[in-house]
Structure 1
């Protein structure tokens, strides 16, 4: 496998070029990017132009090139921190980034157009808000078994070519460098193409019965159908599901004689949204409206998704934790209906009524699910490799795919329980634990295990839902407490505010970085990104409510002249406050922070076969609102001409991804 450059020095030649020089690699070719044409050129070793001037920047990797409305930008990493060491290689987290404009007259801190400024802010927010991990010598995007199975083919392949396409987070950004490399045999930019992964990494050392071991947990987030909690649900028309994560638990056992971790074990689980077309529509209510769409291609897309998992991981045990009653019931029923319809031979469905089984804080009842899965877990096994043996002692031949409604809190608890069960089996297999023993009897390793899984749960929940994981007190302590329940209430409120008022911009950042939406080269055509097309009365209601509340509070604290005069005073401001709140509630959908790059109208105003829990927040017209040319309704938010233009442009750009 070709090595990557770990440090680059940045030189500039006037306003014409950026030159990246690897200072630590003898005889390495430097890379020149011409700003006017975007051309990439590998230079002969030690051929730096005399007019080149070194900047103070140390670059730890080129993430790729992104094209916005006015210019293209080279995204570089200027900060990193070591998260641990795995298989003799350092694992890093990217901590700081810089954007280098290719346009001649572009200032990244003061762009000449508001659309460009908005897009740059989306890029920066996404980069600094994500948990991006990478290594220069270990393929962090692939599980251990996959790397072992392709070890011979990967010997001479470039690093980026071996990465798992699902977890190669900056694959779209690296398109220019990859295409340049594959199209020019004499211009191999592979040492500059650094794959990064969005996920988690943690590794802990422990000693058990005199044996030194390492426990490592890695989660990998898919770049397909990526996004935030309420704006990416279910499956898409390519068979990808929202919030898909592969989680790998590694157990490394040190050999007493050589001092190396010669025994390597891997256990992989996956999670993903219920693979049907469904969504939850934010309307400012705590419980969003549930929308399930029975589309003609639902069976084909579910089949495509599940068959892909079978081809990658082997047999599948589908563990569904969605509630059997209440708000979540229609999602459970739709899932079960289509799974039964497909009847795939390598797929087994297992339902577990999590909230009913574990009510009254009876979290020990998760053992019921483990008992039901034990046959599958033993049949699927885990990957077991001993370095002095030519063949693997065991391969993992299947995975458990777990989901709840969000694939966060209940899923985290169940996956941690399955991982603990498997870890006990692995430690028994290598003779560290006896058949009657378990890690729960050893507080040191048990505490490390719980903390690794709790931190992992928080990171995934923050990335998708906007707060730490719920029920994490059980993951950290193996006990459910009233304090933990109170903390969950605070986290739930935090999720509510983030999901309703901030996630629209976050979703736009995901779509921009993943290449789901490509900006036009005429920023004036994208003014819908920085303007508010809502009618004046809609925009004014939060101001009226805030000012009325201020006047009510002022009336309670200011000196009184007579009770008679204050009666009409309070009557006026309480009436205005109430009217504004009622208006906001009726038009709640207009006050949610919706994604602007790819509108959500396909499911907000879906009127085909399926299930809809309610139609809240759409104004007085409700479902009788006018329709767009694609057949979806338009809310009062978009009734004016500016709003219609915004929908038309956004849909055209989002679906066709075309660039002027």
Structure 2
């Protein structure tokens, strides 16, 4: 897959135009699935393209282009709408198909489709001969694939690549414009990049569709003036159905779906000085370090960072079309923050000889793609964040070609004073204005190009980052509207209260969806974007989101990380041994056991103490159980990282894994059994009266 570019538009040459044109060979829009006893056949339903077909062996998963069908048997026939890709597991091959879709509108003149249902074709005839361990592994793999099958929010187009920003699209060469969609696409933002490899290898271009994954949120508002604004957050570029609304009473409607990663698309249409205008936000999530909040931090050795997102703000007004791009990404050092049941796990900076090269690789890649780069670091100056920020600053001193700006967001805006971000903007204003934005006139002529980028990060690259990016985006919107003559030099968007409120909500919802993809909850500090201050309801919402993040990070995200590693190709399937090595402190089994030991021990100790009456055996039992409960607490504390949900497929950054204390835990279990047994044997009046089985349920 091709991947070119210097600057937001890449260096693809001077194709010109504005991106509203066909961008290459079409993919098959409708397919027929023929299920034969020995193979599956996928064939184009277009009568003008009868040679577009391929087969997959049902027993061996062998993929072959098919030009004529010589089979004499009658197959089962069904209609499908695309091939997402192919994944190979130890027992066999699986083909992921789009079995139903919904056309949700158009983007720049081309139809956009939402994947509503998918199906995996299983090609694993050898599974019945597999060993029990292989079958257990297969069951876990299939649980991950079933999650994929039922995941909403996948979007694609048969005619247009959705991964390129407007500036790169405008600079495509004529030659590249007519290549298959997968060759035009930026591989960083193709969700099914890994799944397409077998299709590409077999030259099945007509079946190879780049898919973007994301979240969907739709808010339709009808106001008491001629404005309707529609937001779509979705994977691919989803669609927007802008209309000039009749005068009506304000109403709103939400539709939300949470997904793992991808691209979000939002749009607001309004009337500005009697001229229709539309602002669109598109965010593209990079797949090179895909993962969840706590299990993917920092950078890998190649310099790719977690939660790396390209956000594009597009304005359409009086024939002009503009694009302004910002990026966010985790601090590009080798660091981690492993969950351990505490609310805020300690940050761990990994000392590695490659660290300087990792940072250099990251920023050289940004400069090649986007041009001049300004790195804005919003982390705290104190505590663990301060140590990480200090390490980042030390590495940035070695890169004189990148400007590094350190701004303690919590210190400056800790009391909810959003306007203090002006202090930051004053530091980077000259860079931002010199970097510019893309501006195209009604004739498709490029008047201005963006030649640099602002890279923003905090710890998660979610809450503080979104507040800051929305502030910079507002400043650039004012500058742009002045450039096209919509505003005078002393006018700004905040003077138009209704439009400004919609714009701020657009960015707040944008931040929520990015946060849902990475952390599983809405963004914190959303009120700072919406209102410029914190509200009581916002504080309550932030508290709920923080608690939800704690639960998901500690008890759910390990499995979710496995699914992402499998789908993205970070985990390479092999047959050398069992891929799943769950630690013996798996949260699903031992955390309840440990909790029961503590609570049960304390309860029995209290009961025996209250009823001991001078009975020496009760005293001994109370002491033993109290000691057991006291002993389990430090055991849990010493091993709390092992009680959390952890990924099984891929290791951490460090070569050494976190040490396990299984032997100690087993010894505690043995002691507990013996203690309880001894306590009861010393009290025949208790154990003789206990039933040997559970009492029957009597309906009450």
For the superposition of Structure 1 and Structure 2, which TM-score range results when normalised by the shorter chain? Answer: 0.7 to 0.9
Partner secondary structure for residue 520 of structure 1 = coil
From 650, 659, 665, the counterpart of 1:598: 650
- Counterpart CA distance in 1 for 2:106 and 2:557 is 34
1:51 and 1:122 map into 2 onto residues whose CA distance is 34
Instruction: Indicate how the Cα distance of structure 1 residues 581 and 126 shifts in structure 2: closer, same or farther if over 3 A, else same.
Output: farther
Q: Which moved more, 1:309-318 or 1:170-179?
A: 170-179
* Residue 205 of structure 2 corresponds to residue 194 of structure 1: no
- Judged with a 3 Å threshold, the aligned counterparts in structure 2 of structure 1 residues 403 and 25 are, in CA distance, closer, same or farther, namely farther
Report the number of matched residues. 586
1:565 to 1:350, Cα distance in 2 relative to 1, 3 A:
farther
Q: Does 1:533 align with 2:556?
A: no
What is aligned with 2:673?
none
Q: Secondary structure at the match of 1:66?
A: strand
Map Cα deviations across residues 42-72 of structure 1 (whole Å, 9 max, x no partner).
4448x6856343444x423211110112011
Partner SS, residue 175 of structure 2? coil
- The residue that corresponds to 2:564 in the other structure is 510
Moved more, 132-141 or 160-169: 132-141
Note the C-alpha offset of 1:633.
6.3
1:244 is displaced (CA, Å) by 0.8
Q: Structure 1 residues 11, 284: closer, same or farther in 2, change over 3 A?
A: same
Contact 1:202–1:217 (8 Å) recurs in 2: yes
Matched residue, 1:616:
none
Alignment partner of 1:33 is 2:71 = no
| Aligned counterpart, 1:231 | 295
Aligned to 1:186: none
Look up the match of 1:636: 661
Contact 1:278 1:293 in 2 (8 A): yes
- Within-5 A mapping of 1:239-258: 239-253=303-317, 255=318
Q: Does the alignment pair 1:581 with 2:633?
A: yes
Cross-structure match for 2:448: 394
Structure 1 segment 344-363 matched on structure 2, within 5 A: 345=401, 347-363=402-418
Query: Could you tell me how far apart the structure 2 residues matched to 1:588 and 1:640 are?
Result: 12
| Correspondent of 1:543 among 593, 597, 617 | 593
Q: 1:7 aligns with which of 12, 30, 42?
A: 30
Instruction: Using the TM superposition, give the Cα deviation of residue 484 of structure 1 relative to its aligned residue in structure 2, in angstroms.
Output: 1.0
Separation (CA, whole Å) in 2 of partners of 1:535 and 1:40: 39
Deviations 1:229-255 (A, max 9, x none): 1221111111211111111111122x5
1:333 counterpart (355, 365, 390): 390
Q: Is the 2:94–2:123 contact (alpha carbons within 8 Å) kept by the matching residues of 1?
A: yes
In the TM superposition, residue 376 of structure 1 has moved relative to its aligned partner by: 1.1
Question: For 2:524, what is the secondary structure of its paired residue?
Answer: coil
Matching residue of 2:482: 428
Contact (CA 8 Å) 1:246, 1:271: kept in 2 or not? yes
Q: How does 1:445-460 map to 2 (within 5 A)?
A: 445-460=499-514
Given candidates 141, 163, 171, the residue that maps to 2:163 is: 141
> For the Cα contact (< 8 Å) 2:580–2:649, is it kept in 1?
no
Which residue does the alignment assign to 2:196?
174
Establish whether residue 63 from structure 1 lines up as the match of residue 84 from structure 2: yes
Equivalent position of 2:686 in the other structure: none
1:32–1:588 Cα change, 3 Å: same
CA contact (8 A) 1:544 1:577 kept: no
State the partner residue of 2:529.
Answer: 475
Change (3 A) 1:202 1:533: same
**1:547/1:97 Cα in 2 relative to 1: closer, same or farther (>3 Å)?**
farther
Partner of 1:293: 350
Asked whether the equivalents of residues 274 and 335 of structure 1 are also in contact (C-alpha less than 8 Å), the reply is yes
In our comparison, the structure showing a higher alpha carbon Rg is: 2
Q: Give secondary structure in 2 for the equivalent of 1:268.
A: strand
TM superposition shift of 1:519: 2.0
Higher mean alpha-carbon deviation, 74-83 vs 363-372, is at: 74-83
Equivalence for 1:415: 469
User: How much has 1:85 moved relative to structure 2?
Assistant: 2.5
- Contact 2:309-2:329 at 8 Å conserved across structures: yes
Aligned-residue Cα RMSD (Å) equals 3.2
The CA deviation at 1:5 is 1.7
Q: How far apart are residue 119 of structure 1 and its match?
A: 0.9
> Retained in 2: the 8 A contact 1:211–1:432?
no
Gaps of at least 5 residues in structure 2 are: 1-23, 213-261, 667-700
2:124 is the counterpart of 1:103 = yes
Q: What is the alpha-carbon distance in structure 2 between the residues aligned to residue 152 and residue 527 of structure 1?
A: 46
**Does the C-alpha gap of structure 1 residues 54 and 580 become closer, same or farther in structure 2, counting only changes over 3 Å?**
same
Taking structure 2 as the reference length, the TM-score comes to 0.77
Asked if 1 retains the 8 angstrom alpha-carbon contact of 2:180 and 2:205, the reply is yes
| SS of residue matched to 1:286 | coil
Larger relative contact order (CA 8 Å, sep ≥ 6): 1
Q: Is the 8 A contact 1:170 1:513 kept in 2?
A: yes
CA contact (8 A) 1:132 1:199 kept: no
Deviation digits for residues 528-561 of structure 1, max 9, x if unmatched?
Answer: 44x553599x9656325236547878999x9x99
Q: Secondary structure at the match of 2:559?
A: helix
Quote the Cα distance in structure 2 between the aligned partners of 1:18 and 1:65: 13
Unaligned runs of 5+ in 1: 182-188, 256-261, 604-629, 642-660
Residues 1:105 and 1:563: Cα distance change in structure 2 (over 3 Å): same
Q: CA deviation at 1:2?
A: 0.5
